[in-house]
Structure 1
Amino acid sequence: MTFTPHPHELRSSSTAEVREDEKWTTPRVRTGGWRQLGVVNWLLAKAASRSVGVSSANLFTTLGQAGGVFRGWLYFSATMMPFGPLSRRDTEMVIIRVAQLRRCAYELDHHLRLGRRYGITDGVADYLLSRPVGVRSAGIRHRDDVVLDCVDDLVLRGELSTSDFDDLRLHFDNRRIIALTLLVGHYSALAGVVRALHIERDFSN
């Protein structure tokens, strides 16, 4: 299925605006090596970095300094991505939309790249980044628009309307609905951590 934005929809904040907003002068917590992370966390950070296509991801070499919290977080995160009950396309679509709403260039850098492997074409990505908030499709909504409306509600209002929840149940069972809400909440919180600690991006563009 392809996205077809309505002509009357207004453009939301652009990727360029999001990324311009996230140019830190210096990280608040510097990345660490094996001395700061400990051998176990350092090895885990290296393995996790390679899984997302970089030799050393700043997110992991920063959070790895939290000791056992990092290991617990890494396991919890992996149960949603890449091993969650949602399809990888749905997962990447949700994460990209959350990252856009939360103005997190770090997440966008990684998941726009990952998304290409799982059906997030340039056209779909452009729609996820420019889709206006609060403008609903007339009549019966497409499945993807139902999901994205729910993401917007969870990020911006912290809840789901009854109509959104009812429409979501037309497409997902209870297990996947729970997974969706956890995925949105996790990546919204992670965006806040990235911004609070001024974690530097792994890619220059």
Structure 2
Amino acid sequence: MTARVRPGGLREVGSFTWVFARVSGRIAGTGPPNLFLTLGRRRGLFHAWLWFAGRLMPGGGLPRRESELVILRVAHLRDCRYEWEHHVRLARRAGLGTKEIDRIAQGPDAEGWTPREHALLTAVDRLHRYRDLDDAAWARLRGHLSEPECIELCMLASHYEMLATVITTLRIQPDQARSPR
């Protein structure tokens, strides 16, 4: 599959995005993220999105480990390879092990999740399937999260659903691992 919109160069994305993408790639252990160099071709929108996305992750109030659980579950449900591969690297840094990452594909009812993780993953599945949470799922979630955390969870899962749509539609290619020197 070929990208529908190629990642931009310095001229197309501007110096801020160009430098930001290079630094981000170094941190992630990849080249400059194709997502940033593609979305960066629409500079003002990219800058606004970056600020918003950064407030959800890594700047959100949910623990990073839980944010990565949510994002990876969305990536799995959406079959979004780019999102999955990028966030597996981040999930490992946030403390998720290989067995936990593999178990994400099995969903909330897989053995080994804590009650809180089960509630989070159930909410993600329901938001994905129904675009809503029934009263039972909401009550289970509220048993573990505050109201502000519930707001953030809904926005985090929905944001990564939107992002998976953009990535899939534009056919953004996964980032290449940076070769060791």
Q: What TM-score, normalized by structure 1, do the two folds share?
A: 0.80
Q: d(CA) in 1 for partners of 2:127 and 2:119?
A: 12
Residue in structure 2 matched with residue 144 of structure 1 by the alignment = 117
- % identical aligned pairs: 39
Residue in structure 2 matched with residue 75 of structure 1 by the alignment = 51
Paired letter, 1:56: P
Query: How far is 1:198 from its partner?
Result: 0.5
1:1-205 equivalent positions in 2, closer than 5 A? 24=1, 26-131=2-107, 142-203=115-176
**Structure 1 residues 136 and 159 mapped into 2: Cα distance closer, same or farther (>3 Å)?**
farther
Q: d(CA) in 2 for partners of 1:74 and 1:180?
A: 18
CA contact (8 A) 1:28 1:198 kept: yes
Query: How far is 1:60 from its partner?
Result: 0.6
Query: How far is 1:145 from its partner?
Result: 0.9
Paired letter, 2:25: S
Give secondary structure in 2 for the equivalent of 1:50. helix
Query: How far is 1:164 from its partner?
Result: 0.6
Paired letter, 1:178: I
Higher helix share: 2
Paired letter, 1:190: L
Query: How far is 1:180 from its partner?
Result: 0.4
Give secondary structure in 1 for the equivalent of 2:158. helix
Paired letter, 2:18: W
Q: d(CA) in 2 for partners of 1:111 and 1:28?
A: 22
Paired letter, 1:189: M
Paired letter, 1:48: S
**Structure 1 residues 165 and 136 mapped into 2: Cα distance closer, same or farther (>3 Å)?**
farther
Q: Show CA shifts across 1:105-149 (max 9, x none).
A: 1011011121112221111111101237xx699xxx822111111
Paired letter, 2:3: P
CA contact (8 A) 1:45 1:64 kept: no
Q: d(CA) in 2 for partners of 1:113 and 1:187?
A: 16
Q: d(CA) in 1 for partners of 2:92 and 2:16?
A: 31
Q: What TM-score, normalized by structure 2, do the two folds share?
A: 0.90
Paired letter, 1:192: T
Q: Which runs of 5+ in 2 are unaligned?
A: none
Give secondary structure in 1 for the equivalent of 2:79. coil
Q: Show CA shifts across 1:143-174 (max 9, x none).
A: 21111110001111100010111111111111
CA contact (8 A) 1:109 1:203 kept: no
Q: Which runs of 5+ in 1 are unaligned?
A: 1-23
CA contact (8 A) 2:103 2:110 kept: no
